[in-house]
Structure 1
Amino acid sequence: YYPGTCYCGWGQMLPAYFDTRVAVSNHSHSGLTTDSFRKEGHYAVISQYSKPGDYVFFQFGHNDQKLPGLQAKGGYRANLQRYIKENQAKGVYPVLVTPIARNTWRLRDQTYLDLLEEFADVCLELGAQYGIPVLDLHAHSKKYVLEKGLQDAKPVFFPGDYTHTNDFGAYKMAGYVAQEIREKCKGHSERAYAYLAECVTDGFGAWEPVGQINVPKKPEIYKDIPDPAGDQVLLSEAEQLERVVRLCLKEELL
């Protein structure tokens, strides 16, 4: 088991920060947008099984960003509004989570390049509009990346990737989400949100990567056995993002 080289999202680690009064059902998928999550049928599963009194956490932005029709003030905002209204109508409590900050830096002057600030701001605006909690994971993760810098922040991301966290990073991000639940839901006028804050724990303690994270090499005894995925790129977002950023922002990324 190599926790530094496993793709993992904070939703998978969130159960570590709740007591036994809360069960987490994680329906997140890599590569989806506020639009494709619905069109591909993933949201239908949530709609079918969620019931009054449940909570649904929504976090998007990384992939919406790449499509002209899903920019922050456009389709992204409209789609989030629709999710909020639909869940409130059936007695389910929506919660918005701002997108994790990427570990992206300008090559020219080595300053941080925040690609998702506008998407995070839209979440905050919608939270105020509909009176629902917004867990500002973007602010926490950005602060972490800025404090660590490009190189020292890399160990919480999959090697060679600046968006997808590994197990270490997912646990850290889930901790930020738990902290935000405590701060944003405690004392909320809606008792259900306040109750959620009461169920948060401190997790299992600190879990930090040590040293450089490298993808393990295949053992020699298995050298003639082909990899199940072959040459398929399972998560090619990093390459796509670099192209999009260069075209749209005319910036070079490290």
Structure 2
Amino acid sequence: MSCTLFIAGDSTAAIKGAAEKPMTGWGEHLQAYFGPSLRIDNRAVNGRSTKSFLAERRLEAIEKEFQAGDYLFIQFGHNDGKQEDPLRYADPEREFRANLERFIESARRKGGTPVLLTSVSRRRFLADGSPDPDAVGAYPEAMRQVAAGTATPLLDIFAASQQLYRALGIEGTRHLFMHLPEQAHPNYPEGISDDTHFSDVGARHIARLVAQAVHQCAALPELRQHLIRTTEGYLPGKVAMPE
């Protein structure tokens, strides 16, 4: 049976326009891991937090198309922590958690399945060369606690991305993010050094981590049936998707 997987999130997942390339959101590459029985509908938007996404009625727009059996992936945190912006800031101990519960309730009310994804980590390292566990502040842990308290499936992408960064190291992770010298790309004539947003290669890596997390999540047996490949390659008995 076919269904749709909606992504509600921020710029780390969002579809990027031609003027932003080669910056890429991980949601742009997620479809490659699922067969035609599941359609990815990426509603993530640059710069949004749980607060601004809700205030702009973007969840309501998803609800208008959301059907029983659909999935809602929910990944926020990067912009919720911007205390200087009252339109986006959501306290991790109160408002952020309450907002997440609104997303969860929405999907369940419509007969679908909400899935919480902890924020993908920024590229930030400690003096000893290990990834900074506070790279997205208190938001990953707050989301874990909401998942536990509401019995919502959780994909811990923060932990998975930090494990990837640890394996690659400080210099080995540069190519995953938007690091370009001057005149290297017409969209960034002055160059760019950005440790939050992904290059196309980085977005592919994170999409692979998301697919792997789905494959390992016992709480999502039906969604796992739509997977055609994981990091280990194509799943047995599945039709391969083109690269």
Letter in 2 for 1:167: D
Paired positions, count: 197
In structure 1, what is the equivalent of residue 229 of structure 2?
A: 202
* 1:103 to 2:115 alignment: no
Aligned pair partner of 1:60 in 76, 91, 116 = 76
- Alignment CA distance shift 1:203-1:182 (3 Å): closer
Report what 1:85 is aligned to.
Answer: 105
Structure 1 counterpart of 2:203, from 166, 170, 176: 170
Question: What SS does structure 1 have at the residue aligned with 2:116?
Answer: strand
Return the structure number with greater strand share.
2
Give the one of 158, 174, 194 matched to 1:154.
174
Scaled by the length of structure 1, the TM-score of the pair is 0.71
Q: Computing the radius of gyration over CA atoms, which structure comes out larger, 1 or 2?
A: 1
Whole-Å Cα distance in 1 between the matches of residues 232 and 130 of structure 2?
32
Residue pair 1:35, 1:79 contacting (<8 A) in 2 also? yes
CA distance in 2: counterparts of 1:91 and 1:56, whole angstroms: 11
Q: Secondary structure of 1:71's partner?
A: coil
The answer to whether the Cα contact below 8 Å between 2:71 and 2:115 also exists between their aligned partners in 1 is yes
TM-score norm. by structure 2 comes to 0.74
Structure 1 outlier segments of 4+, above 4 Å: 108-111, 203-206
Q: Is the 8 A contact 1:18 1:203 kept in 2?
A: no
Query: What is the percentage of aligned positions where both structures have the same residue?
Result: 30
CA distance in 2, matches of 1:200, 1:182: 8
Q: Which has the higher contact order (CA 8 A, sep 6+)?
A: 1
Letter in 2 for 1:202: R
Residue 115 and residue 158 in structure 1: after superposition, are their counterparts in 2 closer, same or farther (change >3 A)? same
Where is the helix percentage greater, Structure 1 or Structure 2? 1
Conservation of the 8 A alpha-carbon contact between 1:16 and 1:204: no
Q: Alpha-carbon deviation of 1:94?
A: 0.5
Matched, 1:32 2:48: yes
More off after superposition, 172-181 vs 59-68? 59-68
Unaligned runs of 5+ in 1: 207-254
Question: Do 1:58 and 1:97's aligned partners in 2 also have CA atoms closer than 8 Å?
Answer: yes
Structure 2 residue runs of 5 or longer lacking an equivalent are 1-17, 180-192, 234-243
Equivalent residue letter for 1:176:
L
User: Deviations 1:61-98 (Å, cap 9, x if unpaired)?
Assistant: 00001127513212111100111112212212100111
